Every structure is written in C-alpha cells, then in structure tokens.
Amino acid sequence: MAHKKEKLSDKVARGDFVFRRPARAGETPRTFADIYPQLASLDITVREVDGSRASRVVDHLSVSSTPGQVIDCRNPSCKGGGLFLDSDIDKAIRQALPTIDVSVKCRGVTRQRPRLVSCEHTFKIAGTMSYKAATH
Ligand SMILES: [Zn+2]
C-alpha cells in the first residue's frame, strides 16, 4: 500500500491559526503589519539545522511578509515534520520583546528500524522587532 508523504503544511491547511499561508479561498493573505498593527519593524531569519549541524536559511521575515503557519522539514526521511512558525513569534510580539532567539525541534519522526525516532532537525528563529509608540 503506497503512502503519499504527508507534509505538515497539508495537515494544517484547514486549521484556524494566527498565520495563514496559503490563505483560504477568497481570503487575502495577511502580512505581519496586518496581524500586529503595533509592529514598527521586524527582521527575523529562520534557519533549519540538520544532524550534522549544517544550517540553511529557510525563511526571512519582515513586516510586509505574509507568514506561513508552518515550515516543512526538509529531511527527506522525516514524516509530518516541520516548524509551527506562529507560536514563538506570536508570543514574542505580544510581549513586545525586542529580540527573538529560540531553537525548536522538528515535530516529525523518522523510521529507524525497528521503531520511530524524533527527527534530528532543529529550527532556529532569530531576529529583532520594534514597536510603535503606544497611543493610549
Ligand atoms: Zn523533521
């Protein structure tokens, strides 16, 4: 029985999340500026680090970016893996933090007989944010 490899982005395509890309039918993708009107600037780089510690940039975000909910893992043997992009960035912006620098393990698993083990890829989210002066 053949299995089509399911990507994390396929799983969450219909979910209700803060970041949504692709947008649902008839919906305009929202930028960071749309989601967070208090944001003055944002400059975040997302890197994927593999088991040999090699890293590559998989996303670069600014206030005018339309953030995707997930970044799929590029490990070819990883199943359903990737990064939920919204949780850490959303928390940092809501707390009006000036910087973010977190590492998040891939959520996926790889088959290593006789069992499944966690994917060894890690995502590093690092960058800076600034905020408009409060108007109240
Ligand atoms: Zn993975």
Predicted confidence (pLDDT) per residue in 44-60, tens digit: 999 999 989 899 999 99
Å from CA of 46 to ligand 1 middle: 15
Q: Is residue 93 domain-resident?
A: yes
Whether 9 is covered by a domain: the verdict is: no
**Is 10 a domain residue?**
no
* 3-class secondary structure, 8: helix
**CB-proximal residues (5 Å) to ion ligand 1:** 73, 75, 78, 81, 106, 108, 119, 121
Q: Is the pLDDT of residue 16 over 50?
A: yes
Structural domain contains residue 23: no
Residue span of the structural domain in which 98 resides: 30-131
Q: What is the pTM of this model?
A: 0.83
Least confident of 5-9, 22-26, 121-125: 22-26
Please check whether residue 116 lies inside any domain of the structure. yes
Within a domain: 12? no
Q: Is 18 among the domain residues?
A: no
Helix and strand totals (H; E) in the chain = 3, 9
Local structure of 90: helix, strand or coil? helix
Q: Measured in angstroms, how far is the CA atom of residue 34 from the centroid of ligand 1?
A: 30
Give me the number of domains the chain comprises: 1
